[in-house]
Amino acid sequence: MTRWQRWPVLVLACCATFTAQAASHVFLVQNSGWMEPFYTDPASPYKALVTEVVQAAMAPGDALVLAAFNQGLPGAPSPRALLAQKGKPDRASLRAVLDPLEVGRKPGGKAMADTDLGEAVGSAIDGALGGKPGLVWLFTNNRNSPNNDQATARRNREFYQLIHEGAAIRKALAFPLKMPVRGAQYSAGGLMVYVFAVQEQGARELDALLASGRLNQVITEMPARLKPLDQDTVRLVPARVENTPGVRYAVLPDGRLRAELDAGTPAGASSGHAARITWRLENTMYPYTITAADISAQAALAGEVKPVALQTDAVRNLAPGKPQPLASSLTLPVANLPGKWSLAALSTAGSAQVIPGRIEVTLANQRLELSQAFRQRMAELFPGDPLPDIFTPPARIQGSRAVLPVEVRLQYGAGPLLAAIGGLFAVLAAAGALAVAATRGRKVVVSVDGEPRTLRTKAGAKTPLYNTAGDQVAELHTTLFGYQLANVREGANVQLAGRSGK
């Protein structure tokens, strides 16, 4: 087992229990022969960039492995761990391991090492992360040529397959950066920073990092999406909304749609009142243009689904950053919303009950095309490198789905609650009266052998009656609603005379 396979795995594996919010990062820094100008140019910002990306990407409590990679050979393993620890390293620690890093050499000679991108990423996923979730970062000049293989197109396809067809990688982004450097043997115009999110938890960690804005402070370029290309491909942003009877719409600051319904609205709304909404349809798949797709939408709320009538059923030439207007007619599915006498309505009387909903947009028969401007930028940064083919969408991706959260606020008046409270008090009063009647003492007059007797009793009591000889001849049963004689002895003269006073 190599050092790479042993040490980083233990570090990252133990971090799984370090904290529930901690993320695991593997930073792969290329140092093959093609990277010579990035190491020998005195003005190269390469190592400084790596340092700042690590600082921006990691949060306190995260774990990392920082490793140099080229191509693994006997006696020269790759990747090679430079630093592995729990907790965010400071800049001094990073400089201490990056500053001495030089271009790798092949064993037994001075020939510079070759490059194997697929080997590096695969080792990071299976080795350093040990199959667990995390983020793998790759700093490379896009030269993928193991054993100085000139069949770069084939090698790039292998890397392409690892990204697009590998089940472990759930999300992949690329940041093409301008970085002109000149060395003794080579020169370069750009650098590519990739980030691969491993498993669904890794994808969530990457989304959270992007939302935090920390990475934007170091890399200002818009990330190019590699994967997935079938989720969140478009975004609907409400631009204009017309209210309908009983329903008031608003656009929240985050772009979500809010609908406020009054308590008797569901019946009216389900009868056909539709809101006319004009959306901005935005392509979120930079750097791809959706050249053609069939579009449909539906609204889902409280387990009910209704189609959204769109002005058009097709999308044509939707480029990133160039939204298109899309008119629609929306009727909220309200059949399953709680009624005004429901427990939910009574518990939120006088306020609003918030019910989450969504609008789902589906693109079918989708055709994507890499924008020409992006191709030109890649050709400028990486002249003669066919690796931009990695951005070619897989043929199997013909459809995609996007979801717009909708917040429905159902307003309930206090009337039903007051009525319910009044009914409750009536029930309590009746129960109180019954309780008083059940516990109050009573006087009853009975006659045994012609002799009248006054007895004290209460509801639920069973009082034995005796003759003058001391024999039990009957029982007086007292209920909440009256009296009766029971178990009267044959031949006995026992009569119920009635109630006598209190």
pLDDT in tens, 304-358: 888 888 989 999 999 988 899 988 887 776 554 555 544 544 444 445 677 778 8
pLDDT in tens, 179-188: 999 999 889 9
The listed CATH number (3.40.30, 3.10.20, 3.40.50, 2.60.40) that belongs to domain 234-370+388-417: 2.60.40
Q: Which two tokens stand for residue 67?
A: 């490793």
In sequence order, the β-bridge partners of residue 442 are 457
Continuous segment of H or E residues that includes residue 297: strand 288-301
pLDDT band at residue 219 under the 50/70/90 scheme: very high
pLDDT band at residue 264 under the 50/70/90 scheme: low
For residues 146 and 390, what is the distance between their CA atoms, to the nearest angstrom? 17
pLDDT of 373: 85
Contacts of 104 (CB under 8 A, 6+ apart): 31, 32, 33, 68, 70, 76, 78, 112, 113
Query: What percent of the chain shows pLDDT beyond 90?
Result: 35
Buried b (16+ CB within 10 A) or exposed e, 412-426: beeebbeeeeeeeee
Longest dimension (CA), the chain: 135
Instruction: Specify the residue for token string 């009574």.
Output: 346
Q: How far is CA 254 from CA 41, 72, 123, 159, 406, in A?
A: 45, 47, 39, 37, 11
pLDDT of 372: 83
pLDDT in tens, 367-425: 988 888 888 888 889 887 765 667 877 777 778 888 888 887 776 555 454 454 555 66
pLDDT of 142: 82
pLDDT in tens, 97-111: 999 999 999 888 788
Give the strands of the sheet with 442-448, arranged side by side: 451-457, 442-448, 494-499
Residue 95 has pLDDT above 70, yes or no: yes
Q: 239, 223, 224: which is closest to 281 by C-alpha? A: 239
Instruction: Specify the residue for token string 């008083």.
Output: 436
Range from 12-16, 53-57, 186-190, 234-238 carrying the lowest mean pLDDT: 12-16
Q: Is the dihedral of CA 194, 195, 197, 203 positive or negative?
A: negative
Q: 386, 398, 499: which is closest to 445 by C-alpha? A: 499
Question: What is the mean pLDDT of the segment spanning 209-220?
Answer: 95
pLDDT in tens, 426-439: 666 666 556 555 56
pLDDT of 386: 62
For residues 30 and 70, what is the distance between their CA atoms, to the nearest angstrom? 6
Continuous segment of H or E residues that includes residue 446: strand 442-448
Question: What is the mean pLDDT of the segment spanning 132-151?
Answer: 81
Whole-model pTM: value is: 0.73
Residue 227 has pLDDT above 70, yes or no: yes
Contacts of 20 (CB under 8 A, 6+ apart): none
pLDDT band at residue 225 under the 50/70/90 scheme: very high
Question: What is the mean pLDDT of the segment spanning 458-487?
Answer: 80
pLDDT of 470: 75
User: For the chain, what are the domain ranges?
Assistant: 3-227, 234-370+388-417, 442-499
Q: Is the dihedral of CA 73, 74, 75, 79 positive or negative?
A: positive
Contacts of 459 (CB under 8 A, 6+ apart): 437, 438, 439, 478, 479, 480
